[in-house]
Structures are given as structure tokens and as C-alpha cells.
Structure 1
Amino acid sequence: MPASRDLDHPEPEDLVLTDVLFALSDPVRLQIVRQLAQGPLVAMSCQSLGPEMAKSTRSHHLKTLREAGVLSNVPHGRERMVSLRRDALDARFPGLLDSVLTAPPGARDQ
């Protein structure tokens, strides 16, 4: 019996703030989210996201974001298409994603 290509994604009501914040705390993962938020497409191929990195590293970052509920990752032919779950995040944590995305890169509390 072939393995399912569908991956688990948490329901909006099951999103946990600390999981979302942890996923967004890594600079590479934040870059991926910003790329999806600013991109002209609703979904992008997973290979086109983020800076140059090993496939296993990219997979780890995408898995962390997906399991936190930040991204959706669905099969499309021989590749996977990744999209930002903006509606789910905004429903569960209004304004959070916009606050994170509009913060200057590298902003830290003084």
C-alpha cells in the first residue's frame, strides 16, 4: 500500500502561539515566510524558497513551519507547493503575522 503524500496540518483552532513564535524565530524560516508573503504567487515550489541550502536543511525548516501551522505543504505532480496559511493565523492570532512581517529584519529588544 503506497504511503500518503498528504502531510498533516494543524487546524486553525489547534494552533499554539509558542509553536508559531518558535517557528518564526529562526532567520531562515522568517525569510521563507516573508518570501511567501511578498511573492506574486499564492503557492511556490518548495525548492524555490529561502536561501541556498542543503535539501535536508530546507526540508527541516519547511517541516517546522508546517507543524506550527504557518505553512501549508501539498503535493502537486512531482513536487510540493508551499503556501502561507495567513487566514488560519489571522483567525487564531489577529495581527500577529502582520506584526512579524513588518518588523525590520534583525529587530531586537534593546
Structure 2
Amino acid sequence: MNITTTIDGTHARISLSGEIDFDTLPPLRAAVDALPQQVTDLQWDLTRTPFMDVAGLHLFFDPTTSGPGRRATVTGLRAQPLWLLLTAADVNPTVFELSRLLPDTPPVGFRPAAP
């Protein structure tokens, strides 16, 4: 697993190459822990991440990973990691609220205005 962190002011991007599982979870959490406190916007780039198991759910939905006052989003989702996130949200939409992680996803219970 290769992890690259890019910081630009209050924005950080963590790009990784490899799978997300319980063996790779500690270095990914360490990358988050190493971010300066002024980072309020964290973007995970999963373009080169073909597989993610439930460790990814722990990484993205554990409040200690994103930190207080820090917004985390995910980009570059490939088929299997996206499938896992959608399945988790289907099973328990309140715990796995995708609207905060995937900015283009409407929140749970969202109803568009009637035409």
C-alpha cells in the first residue's frame, strides 16, 4: 500500500494505491492522525483502490478518524468499494449516511420538491 498526503491550507487529500482491509487500516489512520489541526476538509482518493472490506467502513464512518470539525469525502470510487458503501447504506442508512461522504448523494429522507 502506498499512501500520499497532499495538504493545501485547510484541505488535505489522501491518495492510496492498494486495498483497504484490516492490515492497511493502521497506516491509513496514522495518515489522518498526522494531518495538521487546521485541515478541515479531507478528501480520500480511491482511484487506485480496487478492493475495500469492512475496514473501509470503519475508516470512513468512525468519528475519531475524521476528527472534530473535519469533513471527509471520497472520490474515485471503483466498482467494489462503491458496492460496499451502497450495501452498507442500504442495510443501515442512519449509520452509513452517504450524503456526508459522497457530496452528490442526497441525505436520507430527502424528498425533491413536487413539480
TM-score, normalised to structure 2's length? Answer: 0.31
Whichever structure has more strand as a proportion of its residues is: 2
TM-score, normalised to structure 1's length? Answer: 0.32
Whichever structure has more helix as a proportion of its residues is: 1
